[in-house]
Chain A
């Protein structure tokens, strides 16, 4: 399982001439909890889109030794790549249990599909436990609270048995407690998976990131631990504008570690 890592080489995405992701090289190892940060338009979401097959890209995007570029979305998903979206996307008319059961079932045979679900699959049970939605198993996903939908999405990634998880702003709109819970959840599940998180929430990033990559204008600006990135003058420049900045100024924006 040592090959379970994400390796991007020269990944480039352009929309009608506009280069959104520009030759990004990036490796994320299993067990890592990598945060992608950067100002708006830096190409963070587009990068995830390219890896998950939503947009076309050039270069290489290897996971577990396979190049993902050019594959169809559902093929990439079957290779163990899962993602969430900025706005939680769950099947609103189906229950929590049904949502998770569908996520768990991509490999099911036609015969299994044509029968009724009998009982709750162990993986689904476990995922509901992990994301804390067991009590809401039979609730329609459409009436869940915002944070609960985000958790349901993460739960769907877990039962999908994704080995590479890419989350797009998983804590947007969550309360402080919900954020903490999500962070701890991410720390638990990243132990035997490769996890990439796109996030704007700097506090959240500081508390839970194991490593950070800063994107700017489609390129990798800086990479390292939270402290290393915060100390990087290039990062401070991008976030604060050009010129010399005091450590205090940097701390306000990037957190106390700077």
Chain B
């Protein structure tokens, strides 16, 4: 971990390289279609940055990021549908299955400003509520993971059960414009990609600041010794809620950008399975690192696209194997291999961490 804190230059250079790749190289070498795919991967990467923060640094295994991703996505999709329909009109899919008109809670999202504020606020607010309700009562670990999973399940069922308001299991799709720009125009699609790339880079910067700050150290302390932190006068519930809320906000923005880039959002993108699927990239890249989750998420999303094109059912086996092998045998992800090699070359080997286990437990300390 210290190597990340120390290598100021490495981070700066890495960031610059990423910016050049995203803003100059990728648009030059990729077709509009492939660039759109990359934009989609970047949206997943935004969720991954947040998961790295909440899970890797904060120890909160959140299996419900699809909910926050979905809220952001559906809010954006609602606005795009309303904007496509025009002022006061009813979106096409709604007019097809119902004569009731637009539900009252859709109406505010005719406004782009309201929508953007809601995308930033609602996922964060839900995370704060859930975080306070659980962390304050010391509901954590597996309990928290399962609750977050139950939330994802309930969210997907809620979406499917209300086809008039949410498009049901088909979801919302067939968007024509994005804040006045036509989505058919390749130039506008490229602009969307640039927005996603910029948003991702901003999120990485935010995550880095949070990780290297005192807050980041405190978050790790809460992960490893929540009770101990309490005895030092902090309320770990607050610390964890902040990290969880930031992760939720990132997921929400990722979802909101996913919609115009991919052109569809449905319960299949936000339920239990996709929510957990978001974790594998983070695990492969290295959950506690800054770049690991981003690179892992992009790599996994890319692999999924390319593999499912050729072997539709094969991808599930690959994904399952990755979860099994990476988490069981390489919990630090690929980043731990890189770090290990680096330490092996540059620094003298650290004192064995296992030493503490070998120290004979003193007779007095065994009394409990």
Hey, which bits of chain A sit against chain B, CB under 8 A?
Answer: 40, 52, 72-74, 77-78, 82-83, 85-87, 89-95, 98-99, 101-103, 105-108, 112-117, 138, 140, 142-143, 145-146, 156, 160, 169, 172-173, 200-201
> How far apart are A75's CB and chain B's nearest CB, in angstroms?
8
A169 to B364, Cβ gap below 8 A?
yes
Query: Once the chains are docked, how many angstroms separate the CA of A156 from the CA of B228?
Result: 11
B217 to A146, Cβ gap below 8 A?
no
**Main secondary structure on B side of the interface with A:** helix
Interface stretch among B124-132, B257-265, B334-342, B348-356? B348-356
- For this complex, 25 residue pairs linking A to B, each with C-beta atoms less than 8 Å apart, are A72-B230, A74-B230, A78-B233, A83-B231, A89-B225, A89-B227, A89-B228, A94-B221, A101-B217, A102-B214, A102-B218, A102-B221, A102-B229, A103-B232, A113-B214, A114-B209, A114-B213, A116-B214, A117-B213, A140-B2, A143-B350, A146-B359, A160-B232, A173-B362, A201-B364
Residue of B nearest to A106 (CB): B233
Residue of B nearest to A174 (CB): B362
Is B92 part of the contact surface with A, judged by Cβ < 8 Å?
no
A108 to B365, Cβ gap below 8 A?
no
User: Could you say which residues of chain A place their CB within 8 Å of the CB of B365?
Assistant: 86-87, 169, 172-173
> How far apart are A178's CB and chain B's nearest CB, in angstroms?
11
Hey, which bits of chain B sit against chain A, CB under 8 A?
Answer: 1-2, 209-210, 212-215, 217-218, 220-221, 224-225, 227-235, 350-353, 355-356, 359, 361-362, 364-365, 367-368
User: Could you say which residues of chain B place their CB within 8 Å of the CB of A113?
Assistant: 213-215, 218
- Among candidates A78, A102, A138, A145, residue contacting B2 with C-beta atoms closer than 8 Å: A138
> How far apart are A253's CB and chain B's nearest CB, in angstroms?
16
Query: Once the chains are docked, how many angstroms separate the CA of A19 from the CA of B327?
Result: 45
A115 to B214, Cβ gap below 8 A?
yes
Query: Once the chains are docked, how many angstroms separate the CA of A200 from the CA of B233?
Result: 28
A93 touching B220 in the complex, CB below 8 Å, given contacts A77-B232, A115-B214, A116-B212: yes
> How far apart are A80's CB and chain B's nearest CB, in angstroms?
9
A98 to B231, Cβ gap below 8 A?
no
